[in-house]
Structure 1
């Protein structure tokens, strides 16, 4: 194979010829490697292929959201379709617009296919972040289309003419029969166009009412990756409302699967990270010895703060030490976290 970073294997010459033939048929090294990964266990695969060379082959696309790229080895693999899902009002559209703005900053053309929001509403939504998308539309870097007004052929024609590097579909929930849509020739044709042109795509979906945040639905099986947005219950440690972002899946990528709290600031979404949690813990602890009468008079509040600190510390440890604890330590931390939340619920019910 002609590659700047060749893959070193112990395969025979005949096997290498087969690999090259599949590369031509499937269109990219990434697809061949993914098929290989699916057909071999991890240990055998590591013996056969230099995984560092694989990572150099994979071109990654920055999301433009501070803190997210570090969770997915530097970005979304180019040409992937990633499902951005969660309940309403958790920041999915803002995240997707931020993704397009990063592309525009890199002189990439972008398309936003909107099912629900009109162009004027999107422009108003982005003004608060200082994104002048009207200017980028005029300059030809961004196009916004109402998806429902176009046929599959017209959408493919738009993609072919505009030649975008990034696309957002907001949202796929307009289709009532997800199973039929996922298997439809229309979606497959759009997907084929996106894959062939190595366009990186975000497809927004909303979790159905009553479905738990971590539960997969039909839409989730349509993408190469899944990014979940979930509302975080506010407690006394939270000085401002936050939500969580979680990478549930990203092919060809080692992901950090822990939920990460984020806030929406003046410049868009930003993951708070460990420092934000540490600040909230340290800023709310009041030693009982400092003011004993006050502590007794406000014991419910003080117990809530103490329990929240324990819960917050446990969550911080889970973020900082994923996979580093043994089974006994994991069980102990889980018990501390569960017990703390249980006691907090009892206090809140009593008060």
Structure 2
């Protein structure tokens, strides 16, 4: 006698009893029926994509960085996970805080998960730029979790409960290694939740090299966008490095990848592309840094 196929359908218990009765009477002749039922049942695994009702207009989330939205067709696409990266001390946390403050000022719920700083330190950091975070926290628009020891599951519960429009994770390198990031089941669950809720997130990551090095990690590949912050010496007379940012990647957006200068002020990051320095000057400086790095005995593979 042929081996019985297991009954694996969404039929009711009564229907299964009927099949089992016929199997006792007819041997394995219900195999064809079971296969037919399985094929019908498998349709529940097929994605039902209604292309006619998909919004063709990409909604944008303003960044809070003056002038930057003009170069992003209005801001980050809603629901994107944007990597903000660069060497230490280049303004990644300030950029992220300013992004959240733009949200709370617009009446949006925001969450800041820090894996390196205490909540008190973060509040002090906010206050330095004149941002009254206490009011926004009291009003329920901002939640800050400092030196977060939360698991990804706990963060998912918080996000699912608060339903924030904006979230910052600072820094992802503390949460997971870049090589484990794309295959991590815990992160994939968190990533799916952000996408489901259309939450626009900033993932702060760390680089041990400058913008002149064309080297990317798994954070960069998975992110919908990548913004690189760095310092560049713009001329040989004034040796003071100038902060620059470059949008290296932004899906569904036309972008200028050339690094653009900005300034730190008492109110945060000042106007993007505020200083009248030709793009070629910055690009030449980056090329010079790259050449110096190679001339120092490093191979192209190391770069």
Q: What's the TM-score, normalizing by structure 1?
A: 0.62
Aligned to 2:77: 77
- How far apart are 1:70 and its partner, in Å? 1.3
Alpha-carbon distance in structure 2 between the residues aligned to 1:105 and 1:154: 27
- How far apart are 1:113 and its partner, in Å? 0.4
Q: Say whether the 8 Å CA contact 2:83–2:225 is kept in structure 1.
A: yes
Encode CA deviations 1:251-310: one digit per residue, 9 max, x unaligned.
11111111101111121112452x6236xxxxxxxxxxxxxxxxxxxxxxxxxxxxxxxx
- How far apart are 1:136 and its partner, in Å? 1.2
Instruction: Name structure 1 gaps, 5 residues minimum.
Output: 1-19, 31-53, 279-311, 319-333, 343-351
Q: How does 1:263-302 map to 2 (within 5 A)?
A: 263-271=263-271, 273=273, 276-277=275-276
Aligned to 2:221: 221
Aligned to 2:99: 99
Larger Rg: 2
Alpha-carbon distance in structure 1 between the residues aligned to 2:147 and 2:50: 33
Give the 3 Å change call, closer, same or farther, for CA 237–211 of structure 1 in structure 2: closer
Give the 3 Å change call, closer, same or farther, for CA 194–215 of structure 1 in structure 2: same
The alignment status of 1:163 with 2:163, answered yes or no, reads yes
Q: Say whether the 8 Å CA contact 2:118–2:147 is kept in structure 1.
A: no
Aligned to 2:269, the other structure's residue is in SS state strand
- How far apart are 1:313 and its partner, in Å? 8.2
Aligned to 2:127: 127
Aligned to 1:22: 49
Aligned length: 241
Alpha-carbon distance in structure 2 between the residues aligned to 1:121 and 1:143: 14
Aligned to 2:143, the other structure's residue is in SS state strand
Give the 3 Å change call, closer, same or farther, for CA 78–238 of structure 1 in structure 2: farther
Alpha-carbon distance in structure 2 between the residues aligned to 1:239 and 1:65: 26
Larger relative helix fraction:
1
Q: Say whether the 8 Å CA contact 1:260–1:271 is kept in structure 2.
A: no
Encode CA deviations 1:142-184: one digit per residue, 9 max, x unaligned.
1011464222221111011111000000001114532223211
Alpha-carbon distance in structure 2 between the residues aligned to 1:128 and 1:216: 33
Q: What's the TM-score, normalizing by structure 2?
A: 0.72
Give the 3 Å change call, closer, same or farther, for CA 167–23 of structure 1 in structure 2: farther
Aligned to 1:215, the other structure's residue is in SS state coil
Q: Say whether the 8 Å CA contact 1:175–1:181 is kept in structure 2.
A: no
Alpha-carbon distance in structure 1 between the residues aligned to 2:244 and 2:256: 13
- How far apart are 1:241 and its partner, in Å? 4.6
Aligned to 1:243: 243
The alignment status of 1:315 with 2:289, answered yes or no, reads no
- How far apart are 1:242 and its partner, in Å? 2.1
Alpha-carbon distance in structure 2 between the residues aligned to 1:234 and 1:121: 33
Q: Say whether the 8 Å CA contact 1:213–1:230 is kept in structure 2.
A: no
- How far apart are 1:192 and its partner, in Å? 0.5
Encode CA deviations 1:212-235: one digit per residue, 9 max, x unaligned.
544212221121000011111264
Alpha-carbon distance in structure 2 between the residues aligned to 1:215 and 1:84: 15
Instruction: Name structure 2 gaps, 5 residues minimum.
Output: 1-46, 293-303
